[in-house]
Structure 1
Amino acid sequence: MDRDGTVTVTIPERTRRRLTAVLFTGVSIGRTGYIAAVTVTTLVAKEMLGSATLAGVPGAVTVLGSALGGDRLSAYMERHGRRRGLVLGYAAMAAGAAGAATATALGSFPLLVGASAVFGFGASADSLSRYAAADVHPAERRGAAIAIVVWAGTIGSVLGPTLLSPAEGVGRALGIEPLAGSYVIAAALAALALMVIAVLLRPDPLEFADRGTGVRPTGRITGSATVWIAVASLAIGQMVMVLIMVMTPLHVRDHGHTLGTVGVIIAAHTFGMFAVSPLTGWVADRIGRLPVILAGQAILAIAAVTAALADESAIATLTVALFLLGLGWNLSYVAGSALLTEGAAPENRVRLQGFGDAVVWTAGAVASVSSGLLLEAGSYAILCVVGACLTVVPVTVTLRVRATT
């Protein structure tokens, strides 16, 4: 029996490690393709339309597709297992990337938008993989298990952008628009991730998770106080991170700095998001989920205030702020995911994990749209202050829950 009161099937340590390694590999491959594709999407849309006005639509649709995918794929996994659900996700991701390549070759914006939705739907398999890792580990090691799979995002974030130049060569070799090559590579990598999961993720991780008896609709399973703390930390962490991150490159460029400078700042941010994941998971397992969540929200607030106060010439300060922004997100994401897994009733755990991811992706989409509006209506500093204020939400939820329990 785990410390959270659930009974799990005994699983050999070697099997745990192998399944976790398979999930890590699948996410590494899938995330590399995802980054390669989304990096060019705005450029492709702008070339099609001849204007940047609606160029962000495919990207927003991708995020909304991921929100839907998180919920729907989890419901499918609940009935058919993690492996089949992840295979379905990567199949949709490959199909969406292929559709986007076709749309780019044809110059069809409506097709690009539709393909982006399918691509985003499938890409949610990457984020859901962390819960499959949690299935095969006891409660006292779930934080570390989740963190290892989140850590795989580091590989995608580093390798994805490096594929852009080779991808143009692929596009030319196929006789299509060079930018379409990124989608071709994304489709191939999604197909490879699919094969890795289909062949190697055996036995299914869900076979080792206690699923209880009976399943209730999502609307009736979110009453747990722990669940609300977890969802609030995940959603606000994502919202604050996206709100500030997406406008930072524009802010830096508007003040005369080079693309190289932008690259350094975003690299520091990405490092904070993923590189420390194993340490985050270890700490969350040792001292508990709530302290790590609260630390994450505090770091997010510090990052937002630091960015708001940074002079436009203080690139070093802004780089530190964006690193802290990534770090705060990481703490909230890893510990929040572990808390959500433990707070859900066993019979509803899989469905609730998908619900949580749907909320996270939706929060990211709202932040992405809102960031531009806040920047236009106010300033980068005001945008950052709004982000800092948002971190009060998970803290308030946590304090209220503690006061009533």
Structure 2
Amino acid sequence: MTTPVPALIKDLPRAQAQRRILIVLIVAQVLSGAGLAAGVTVGALLAQDMLGTTSLAGVLAALGTAGSALAAVAVGRISQARGRRPGLAAGYLAGAVGSAGIIAAALVGDAVLLFAAMFLYGAGTATNLQARYAGADLAAPAHRARAVSTVLVATTLGGVAGPTLVSPTSDLAHLLGIPDLAGPFLLAGAAYATAALVLGIWLRPDPLLLARALDDDTPPPAFVPQGERATPANTRPADTGDRPRPAERGRRSGVLIGTLVMVVTQLVMVAIMTMTPVHMHDHGHGAAASGLVIAVHIGAMYLPSPLTGWLVDRYDRLTIATASALSLLAAGIVAAGAPGDSVAPLAVALALLGLGWNLGLVAGTAIITDAVPLATRARTQGLVDVCIAIAGAAGGMASGLVVAGAGYPLLAIGGGILALVIVPAVAAAPR
């Protein structure tokens, strides 16, 4: 019995390349996470200071989200045509240029330039999220979710460090004659530019291009309906006419389910998270208490990623997607019932909210990656992230209207109930 040497030779560079790629992505994500968190921490405050009103501060966040959505398409298309390395590097470079534009706007006091620069700055956010797909390109199907979670958890390290550097960067800005609130964007610009440099130099081999070279891209069986068998790529049953083949239907089902899971979890998470500090302020809590609750929430969004990835790989993508809906429902119930003068229940609620988002994002990403062939993977993933960005913007804008009209408890419980849309969709999905 002979050893299948060609298969072993083929698998060897894949494993070695995957380890190298994950290391490079982790470094880039730590840097970009620091830049992202630093900018987000003071963005609304800078807008309020420059514009003299809080009414337009939300517009700045909306422009950042719009820029993120457009960048997700651009990064996806560049990655599809030329590989992950140029796509991700270009996205981070755009974020660095946006950071420089925000600093320039603060120097000259130009609100129009501030809005335009914030739109460009949103590219960093989109690229930070798109990087998780690069971690899964070369991963074996049984390890894809763990690869995604490794990239996600790296963002946490930078995300924790970024806000702690707000004060030092503000002091540096003061020494340079730049408005203090623009200081964190010095860090954001440097972090994004360095992340682009790291990816541009060291993300070799390109994970998407190497995956295409190594794989014959046969249709994945994960979402072929039960009881049906995918037909070979060059054949079609005589009586099917123009109907999609089972493998094609399975792929479409996977894309729809994965997108639904991530869109719903993003919308519910952003809606409840956005209004929790406002709710706490209305009940007399200070910035320190709100900051603690949000810190717990952000930690729960990213820190469970290694465990989540193992669960998604070990059990079933759709099972963990269902768990994300139940976690979001629990978050809504706890938040709605939390006494206004108590911080601990809200911290628990937002921890569950972050966990639900994490479960949904890792499971949804794995579902999408399983379902989409390499030939169109990056472009499809970019379009999916556009939907996620739009859902986040919609959740943020709608949350204020709901709280103003019906109160925070109704927003929380309504968001939890909305998350249950995932359950029947998952139950109806072919496995």
TM (norm. structure 1) is 0.93
Answer whether contact 2:269 2:353 (CA < 8 A) is retained. yes
Instruction: Give the secondary-structure state (helix, strand or coil) at the position aligned to 2:57.
Output: coil
The equivalent position to 2:278 in structure 1, one of 250, 271, 275, is 250
Give the partner amino acid of 1:375.
V
Superposed displacement of residue 354, structure 1: 0.8
Give the partner amino acid of 1:113.
F
Instruction: Give the secondary-structure state (helix, strand or coil) at the position aligned to 1:246.
Output: helix
Q: Where do residues 137-156 of structure 1 align in structure 2 (5 Å cutoff)?
A: 137-156=139-158
Instruction: Give the secondary-structure state (helix, strand or coil) at the position aligned to 1:384.
Output: helix
Residue of structure 1 in register with 2:354 after alignment: 326
The equivalent position to 1:351 in structure 2, one of 364, 374, 379, is 379
Give the partner amino acid of 2:411.
L
Q: Where do residues 156-305 of structure 1 align in structure 2 (5 Å cutoff)?
A: 156-210=158-212, 224-305=252-333
Instruction: Give the secondary-structure state (helix, strand or coil) at the position aligned to 2:180.
Output: coil
Please state if 1:50 is matched with 2:52. Answer: yes
Partner Cα separation in structure 2 for residue 10 and residue 76 of structure 1: 28
- The CA RMSD over aligned residues, in Å, is 1.8
> Which stretches of structure 1, 4 residues or more, deviate above 6 A after TM superposition?
220-223
Pair 129,248 (structure 1): closer, same or farther in 2 beyond 3 Å: same
Deviations 1:377-403 (A, max 9, x none): 11000111220121122222222334x
Instruction: Give the secondary-structure state (helix, strand or coil) at the position aligned to 1:37.
Output: helix
Superposed displacement of residue 117, structure 1: 0.8
Partner Cα separation in structure 1 for residue 391 and residue 346 of structure 2: 24
Partner Cα separation in structure 1 for residue 318 and residue 40 of structure 2: 33
Answer whether contact 1:304 1:384 (CA < 8 A) is retained. yes
Superposed displacement of residue 9, structure 1: 6.7
Superposed displacement of residue 355, structure 1: 1.0
Residue of structure 2 in register with 1:385 after alignment: 413
Answer whether contact 2:84 2:206 (CA < 8 A) is retained. yes
Residue of structure 2 in register with 1:74 after alignment: 76
Superposed displacement of residue 10, structure 1: 5.3
Segments of 5+ residues of structure 2 without an aligned counterpart are: 1-9, 218-247
Answer whether contact 1:9 1:209 (CA < 8 A) is retained. no
Residue of structure 2 in register with 1:310 after alignment: 338
Residue of structure 2 in register with 1:371 after alignment: 399
Answer whether contact 2:399 2:411 (CA < 8 A) is retained. yes
Superposed displacement of residue 45, structure 1: 0.8
Answer whether contact 1:88 1:122 (CA < 8 A) is retained. no
Give the partner amino acid of 1:208.
L
Deviations 1:185-225 (A, max 9, x none): 11111111111111111111112323878xxxxxx999711
Superposed displacement of residue 314, structure 1: 2.7
Answer whether contact 1:48 1:107 (CA < 8 A) is retained. yes
Please state if 1:360 is matched with 2:388. Answer: yes
Answer whether contact 2:28 2:198 (CA < 8 A) is retained. yes
Answer whether contact 1:221 1:348 (CA < 8 A) is retained. no
Answer whether contact 1:212 1:347 (CA < 8 A) is retained. no
Residue of structure 2 in register with 1:135 after alignment: 137
Partner Cα separation in structure 2 for residue 97 and residue 222 of structure 1: 42
Residue of structure 2 in register with 1:3 after alignment: none
State the number of aligned residues: 390
Give the partner amino acid of 2:210.
F
Answer whether contact 1:9 1:208 (CA < 8 A) is retained. no
Superposed displacement of residue 12, structure 1: 4.5
Answer whether contact 2:261 2:422 (CA < 8 A) is retained. yes
Partner Cα separation in structure 1 for residue 11 and residue 78 of structure 2: 22
Answer whether contact 1:222 1:228 (CA < 8 A) is retained. no
Please state if 1:396 is matched with 2:398. Answer: no
Superposed displacement of residue 345, structure 1: 2.8
Residue of structure 1 in register with 2:107 after alignment: 105
Answer whether contact 2:72 2:126 (CA < 8 A) is retained. yes
Answer whether contact 1:10 1:208 (CA < 8 A) is retained. no
Answer whether contact 2:25 2:135 (CA < 8 A) is retained. yes
Give the partner amino acid of 2:56.
L
Give the partner amino acid of 1:230.
G
Answer whether contact 2:251 2:372 (CA < 8 A) is retained. no
